[in-house]
Amino acid sequence: MKVLVLNPPSTVTKNYIRDLIYGCWCKGKRIGGATSPPLNLLYIATILKNDGHKVKFVDALAEEKSIDDIKKIIKQTDVVIESTSQMSFTDDVHVLTQFKKANPKLVTILFGSQPTFYPEEALDQKAVDILVKREAEFIIKDVLHLMEQGKDWGKVLGIAYRKNGKKIINPDYPFSDVNKLPIPDRTFLPKNIDFFNPIIKRMPYTTAMTSRGCPGLCTFCNVPDFYGKTDRFMTAERVIEEIKEIMKLGYREIWFRDETFTAFPKRNEIICNWLIKNKVDLTWIANARVNMITKDMMKLMKKAGCHMIKFGVESSNQEILNRVKKGIKVSKTKEVFSWANEIGIGTHAHTMIGMPGDTKETVEATIQFIKEINPTTATFGICTPYAGTPMFNEVLEKNPAIKDGSSLSKVRLHVDAYYSKHFTKVSNKDLQRYLKKAYREFYFRPSYIWKWIKRIDNLDELKRVLLAGSNVFSFATNKKMS
């Protein structure tokens, strides 16, 4: 079959990240203008290519292709596959509608948060033919394999579709063994385009994911429902195999997108020691939880080429952290960031304002706390209820008007309140004010700027810092929320 695996164009905004199953969680100048390869789509394209399909991969966001550009391809396509999310679903459906007009025989397949958590509502959209819940790779492979053979694909687990005007929603597909996932074929990515990220030290960079799931049960996160409540991780041998392939392609840095890379210390020790023993010329970044890392682990990671660890700090108020079941202590956050500053490894602090229980006083305290723990970089965003999370379900009970959450616009994502009044006393006007204030107070400190000037050691890094800095400066000083 002729299959188009597409990171679709947008009619409402340019710069936003759709690299994982969630779809779109970050965008714009607030995150320094970062972009990322669509890793979720690469897995699907690779599996389908290996299964004998004629696969075309297009990242319309990276290549800045329009709907009309893609229509030319659509006319010669049997199936188009896209990821979608709560905040992009309306725009994605609009794009698919245009594709259907260009090719009425086209089969459209969507996966992501809306298909997973609200398949019945998503099927109301006539441009959508097949929805895939949770992990999509092997489900799509099974569907297309049967479809190509002219067999009944309607009984494949994990899908939803319409038949004779009736909505069919099948039971979930079992979670996959992540070691059976192929190494994503990164040659599918657009040529001569380097994805940009302000926290990256060496270009070109790529992303990788060596586990699925998270040991945390935060009420604002839908990872447990996407990936299950049990972590599944690749063996050290499988990870090392992928690292070798990545280096052959000329990449100089990897951002490991695992929810909590440090949750697997024994495995990671093998990987780090291999990197050290073989003097692998590669730098990398990983995500961690402050309660799942030790000082010795941090030292080993740095020796193995890790230059930054990203942490979800969220708030400086212990009651708020307990309320959202973050599972960490403020005191531990202080300790871990102190270790990092002592060892000399970079850190990134993810922070939210307007969390359940937040007041003006707790927001102010969190801003001060982030300056106190002194991360290398930080992002601040307005807390948003995502479909598939306990937080969203609590809001839904209080206000059914939120429906399936698809009214959340990616244009306003994290810079505007979305039903926040149901869990915080801070008004939208004040949340927006505090958001700008947080960026100004953290990034505009003379001591912080001087620290960055001193650490720049090459022209590429200077260019990256200037670009990211100009984006953040524009966001923090512009009266418009963008």
Phi-psi map region of 239: left, alpha, beta (phi>0 left; psi -120 to 50 alpha): alpha
The DSSP letter of residue 386 is: P
pLDDT digits (tens, 9 = 90+) for 331-354: 999 999 999 999 999 999 999 999
15 CB neighbour count, 10 Å cutoff:
17
pLDDT value for 13: 64
Give the position of tokens 């951002």. Answer: 255
187 CB neighbour count, 10 Å cutoff:
10
Per-residue pLDDT band at 33 (split at 50, 70, 90):
low
pLDDT digits (tens, 9 = 90+) for 308-333: 999 999 999 999 999 999 999 999 99
Check if CATH label 3.80.30.20 holds for domain 199-383+424-477. Answer: yes
The helix-helix angle for 428-443 and 446-455 (nearest 10°) equals 50
Specify the range with the lowest mean pLDDT, choosing from 139-153, 403-417, 440-454.
403-417
Which residues does 298 contact at the CB level (< 8 Å), separation at least 6? 309, 339, 340, 343, 345
Confidence check: pLDDT of 198 > 60: yes
What are 42's two structure tokens?
Answer: 């690469």
Q: Is the Cβ–Cβ distance between 287 and 338 less than 8 Å?
A: no
pLDDT value for 29: 46
Report the distance separating Cα 308 and Cα 343, nearest Å: 11
> Whole-number mean pLDDT of the chain?
91
477 or 181, higher pLDDT: 181
Per-residue pLDDT band at 220 (split at 50, 70, 90):
very high
The DSSP letter of residue 400 is: G
What are the residue ranges of CATH 3.80.30.20 in the chain? 199-383+424-477
What are the residue ranges of CATH 3.40.50.2300 in the chain? 2-169
Mean pLDDT of 186-198: 86
Give the position of tokens 């959508």. Answer: 128
Residues facing 342 on adjacent strands: none
Confidence check: pLDDT of 181 > 70: yes
Confidence check: pLDDT of 34 > 80: no
Report the distance separating Cα 20 and Cα 12, nearest Å: 20
Per-residue burial over 357-380, b if 16 or more Cβ lie within 10 Å, else e, is bbeeebbbbbbebbeebbbbbbbb
Which residues does 150 contact at the CB level (< 8 Å), separation at least 6? none
Per-residue pLDDT band at 35 (split at 50, 70, 90):
confident
Homologous superfamily, domain 2-169: Response regulator (3.40.50.2300)
pLDDT value for 5: 98
Give the position of tokens 């953040």. Answer: 472
∠ at Cα 257 (251, 262), nearest 5°?
Answer: 110
Confidence check: pLDDT of 28 > 70: no
pLDDT value for 410: 67
∠ at Cα 21 (14, 474), nearest 5°?
Answer: 30
Confidence check: pLDDT of 110 > 90: yes
Q: Is the Cβ–Cβ distance between 46 and 184 less than 8 Å?
A: yes
Q: How long is the chain?
A: 482
The helix-helix angle for 295-303 and 330-343 (nearest 10°) equals 40
What are 438's two structure tokens?
Answer: 């947080």
pLDDT value for 414: 72
What are 203's two structure tokens?
Answer: 């270009």
pLDDT value for 20: 78
pLDDT digits (tens, 9 = 90+) for 132-176: 999 999 999 999 999 999 999 999 999 999 999 999 999 999 999
Q: Which of 223, 61, 247, 52 shows the shortest CA–CA distance to 149?
A: 52
Per-residue pLDDT band at 30 (split at 50, 70, 90):
very low
pLDDT digits (tens, 9 = 90+) for 355-396: 999 999 999 999 999 999 999 999 999 999 999 999 999 999
Per-residue pLDDT band at 82 (split at 50, 70, 90):
very high
168 or 18, higher pLDDT: 168
pLDDT digits (tens, 9 = 90+) for 39-63: 999 999 999 999 999 999 999 988 9
